[in-house]
Structure 1
Amino acid sequence: MSNVIVIGAGPMGLAAAHRAATEGHEVHIIEADDRPGGMAAHFDFGGLSIERFYHFVCKSDTATFALMDELGIGDKMRWTPTSMAYYMKGKIHPWGDPLSLLSFPHLSLISKLRTGLQMFLTTKRKNFASIESLTARQWLEQGSGKAVYDTLWKRLMELKFYGLSDDISASWIATRVKRVGSSRRSIFQEELGYIDGGTQTLVDALVGAFVKKGGNLHLSTLAERVETVDQRVTGVTAGGRFFAADAVISTIPTPLVSNLVPDLPPEWQEKYDAIRNIGVVCVLLKLKRSVTPNFWLNIVDPDIEIPGLIEFSNLRPVGDTIVYVPYYMPAMQPKWKWTNKQFVEQAFGYIQHINPTIENDDLVDTTVGRLRYAQPVCEPNFRNKLPPIQTPIVGLQIADTCYYYPEDRGVAESIRYGQMMALSVPESLKVATPISG
């Protein structure tokens, strides 16, 4: 058995550490934050324990269900009938089922039939290898038509990826369509899930099981450098002290890897540095009344600079109306420097524009979260751009959420990849050349 250090206590890091401890290794988690959970961590929002950044569960998230069963919290899974809509030209239009599609007023009948067929077939495909070389725009225009892309997708993609919207992989967007589109009670009813008590329930169970197996969790401890001798891991310097290790699993964002592991060959550092990321400023609002009946409201309006609203309380009942308002943008955008107050005022103004019955005194509480590296930019053939998980340094594995490609960020993929890296520790200690992830 080996001494293993996991850098990062998000879902992937926790899953890796728990599995490594289960395999009998001595494991230390190093986390810069003051709490475990990463993007899935909760905070106290005026007496309500809620995720910093919204999460939902789909029926294909088998890795989540298996881990919850293993931890004895399988009975905490809950399912809710949910809905999606578009806000366009001053009105909210239902979306996501055949009747909504046919009644949608801003597409021709041919466009409706083409988009319905493309989305349906996407949910049935086993893989997307045949469209891997296409951009999302090319794939959507080929299948549904240019009018559909311009009406439903163009504005959303521009607000999510700014000038990079035409670089996004078709496989990435198709996989998102499949994941959500397959999570249904019937062809007429979407059904998404949540964990009773929120993702903190899973985080707490993972941490508790990890510690019970002898694991060590070091919070508020910044990983400064992965130490090596002769291209082999010796440990990690973090929080001003040295942690000896035979193996290291890094789950931090890839843009931070070059500084963390300066002993990587230059060509490897260049590969990590070349992976592009979009940041997010996420405004969280607590309101006295609901904005819409929908969980997800896509927004296509030239005067509204957000791609949508996530009314989380329409998924997980929490007693109040909870709305997440995400602003995606590269951190070099001037708007990134806005104050929290500016973001809150604009977001609440958008909500009042969409639902004029919302009054100023309906706003109960607000907070703003920021992540500099929130959304990987996955272009066509993105998998070929990623370095292998096993690095040229013996004992060192590196991955973050971009490795889930073509899947998007999600707890289930975090669990799957974390467990996979933990089980690969013995192999990582033997190899002298990279193994594929």
Structure 2
Amino acid sequence: MASSSATPALAGSSPQPDNKGVQPRTVAIIGGGIAGLVCALRLAEAGRQVTLIEATDQLGGLGGTSDHDGRTFEKFYHCMLPTDGPLLDLLSDLGLRDEVYWKPTTFGYASGATIFPLNKALDLLKFAPLGFADRIRVGLTGLQGRRISSEGLDDITAVEWLTKLSGRKAFEVFWKPMLQAKFGDRYEAVPALWFWSRFNREKGDKKGEVKGYIRGGYRRIAEIIGNRITSLGGSVRLRERMVMLDLDRAGRPLVVTSRGEASYDQVVITTPWQGIDRTLGANLRRALPPLDMNIDYQGVTNCLLFLRRPLSPHYWVATPESTYPFDGVIETSNLTEETDRGARHVVYLTKYMHRDDPRFREDEDLLSIEWWVALKKLFPDLRDQDLERRQVFRAPFVEPLYTTGYNGRRPPEELVAGRVFLSNTAQVYPTVTSWNGSVTQAIKTLEHVLVNC
């Protein structure tokens, strides 16, 4: 049994090994994203014999990278916020906290041919797409959203809540496009609690919004954790596809992969349930309690641009109008330092869409051309010679499609008593889906794993 001090240690310092002359328990971690990395690291530090299994050739999940001009860049944009306590605590434990740098960032909203800054009260008062009274109500909504209790917000939709606070016109013009940008045609079911969490994660201080990035990029975090796992005697196995997850005759998790099979004392699943569900064997299916695992996900398509010139001073420009095939222009070079990106400007054009959407399967070359043409309409002085390179990346399982009452359907951390555990993005609700959210969930799951020693 783990000592009573092990659980608090998870958030910051490492759990203390509890090997007392006995053979360490074997644990398989399915998935090498940040949740899998944290679970594997903490369990290895606690004396478990850990095997981390990842289907791709990289650790980090959505923090995966692509190479360009001798540097690595995230396929999907990432940043940190000062409120990301669990992630920042992890970086402190890895000796990386001082490698995070912070910069003020701004937000813009594209309407017609104009990009309106929306960062201060005065900016909102000048926001022409809304009438003056509606601008006031939107501003008050932001203040109320940060101050009111979250009680009852899981049971009403964000549409209802925001409409009540801001009014129908302000909702249609301002809030609805942002919900649609994230959830597409599923936006009407999203609970108000999800939006409330965003208000409270992204709140800035009196000086405005500040975001952070780590020197060397997110790949550095994943590599350091991976190296620490192996230094503690763990095994990190890449390019290994899951074939079946079951229970053997002794009730121990049986993991069958493209390289063979083995039984473990415990297994922690960190991948989306859709991917693991098709691999479940009959014994494990019978052992699972009644679960609502029919949680769908929104996917994302990103077009990564390397430019020879900047576009705007904003980190993020929302593009909610149907004129644009993407929903946001994220200029990460307004956050990152030149030592991390070189003498270029890095822009992500992003569109959240379901994996069944025909646009999710659109030819990458055609998509990148279409999106480039649309970007030049937003920035008319942009020229083809300003483009250094463009790449398209897709991920099918990014944001769970939440519905009201989700707290009652949230998957548990322990699926089979003492044997099979879960730590994935379907559980982070109402915390915003992010690396910080995944670290937070990993800590919760580990409390269940470590008590079953």
Using the size of structure 2 for normalisation, the TM-score is 0.89
* Paired residue type of 2:274: P
* Paired residue type of 2:196: A
Whole-Å separation in 2 of the counterparts to 1:289 and 1:269: 55
Aligned: 1:190 with 2:213 = no
Whole-Å separation in 1 of the counterparts to 2:451 and 2:285: 19
Q: Report the Cα offset of residue 47 of structure 1.
A: 2.6
Retained in 2: the 8 A contact 1:31–1:218? Answer: yes
Whole-Å separation in 1 of the counterparts to 2:361 and 2:287: 32
Structure 2 spans left out of the alignment, 5+ residues: 1-23
Query: Could you list the per-position Cα deviations for residues 372-425 of structure 1 after superposition, in whole angstroms to 9, with x for gaps in the alignment?
Result: 112210111212122312113541002311210011211112122223323422
Partner of 1:83: 106
* Paired residue type of 1:43: S
Pairing of 1:306-325 with structure 2 (within 5 A): 306-317=326-337, 318=341, 319-325=343-349
Whole-Å separation in 2 of the counterparts to 1:422 and 1:144: 41
Whole-Å separation in 2 of the counterparts to 1:89 and 1:267: 52
Segment drifting more, 229-238 vs 364-373: 229-238
The 3-state SS of whatever aligns with 1:264 is helix
The 3-state SS of whatever aligns with 1:129 is coil
Aligned: 1:170 with 2:192 = yes
Whole-Å separation in 2 of the counterparts to 1:148 and 1:67: 40
Q: Report the Cα offset of residue 248 of structure 1.
A: 0.2
Whole-Å separation in 1 of the counterparts to 2:48 and 2:379: 54
Aligned residues: 424
Partner of 2:18: none
The 3-state SS of whatever aligns with 2:313 is coil
Whole-Å separation in 1 of the counterparts to 2:411 and 2:356: 26
Which of 253, 264, 267 lines up with 1:234 in the alignment? 253
Aligned: 1:59 with 2:82 = yes
Pairing of 1:203-222 with structure 2 (within 5 A): 203-222=222-241
Aligned: 1:153 with 2:175 = yes
Partner of 1:434: none
Where does structure 1 differ by over 6 angstroms across 4 or more consecutive aligned residues?
Answer: none
* Paired residue type of 1:178: N
Partner of 1:405: 429
Retained in 1: the 8 A contact 2:108–2:318? Answer: yes
Whole-Å separation in 2 of the counterparts to 1:354 and 1:294: 14
Whole-Å separation in 1 of the counterparts to 2:101 and 2:251: 45
Partner of 2:67: 44
Q: Report the Cα offset of residue 202 of structure 1.
A: 1.3
* Paired residue type of 1:147: K
Which of 361, 369, 372 lines up with 1:348 in the alignment? 372
* Paired residue type of 1:210: I
**Aligned CA-pair RMSD:** 1.9
Retained in 1: the 8 A contact 2:368–2:390? Answer: yes
Instruction: Decide whether aligned partners of structure 1 residues 405 and 206 sit closer, same or farther in structure 2, where only a CA change above 3 A counts.
Output: same
The 3-state SS of whatever aligns with 1:260 is coil
Whole-Å separation in 1 of the counterparts to 2:99 and 2:202: 21
Query: Could you list the per-position Cα deviations for residues 285-334 of structure 1 after superposition, in whole angstroms to 9, with x for gaps in the alignment?
Result: 11111111100101132321322111111111223111111122112222
Segment drifting more, 391-400 vs 47-56: 391-400
Retained in 2: the 8 A contact 1:77–1:194? Answer: yes
Whole-Å separation in 2 of the counterparts to 1:174 and 1:230: 47
Structure 1 spans left out of the alignment, 5+ residues: 430-437
Whole-Å separation in 1 of the counterparts to 2:253 and 2:69: 44
* Paired residue type of 1:134: I
Instruction: Decide whether aligned partners of structure 1 residues 189 and 387 sit closer, same or farther in structure 2, where only a CA change above 3 A counts.
Output: closer
Which of 3, 18, 34 lines up with 1:11 in the alignment? 34
Q: Report the Cα offset of residue 270 of structure 1.
A: 6.5
Partner of 1:27: 50
Instruction: Decide whether aligned partners of structure 1 residues 88 and 266 sit closer, same or farther in structure 2, where only a CA change above 3 A counts.
Output: farther
Aligned: 1:295 with 2:319 = no
Whole-Å separation in 1 of the counterparts to 2:382 and 2:347: 13
Q: Report the Cα offset of residue 110 of structure 1.
A: 2.2
Using the size of structure 1 for normalisation, the TM-score is 0.92
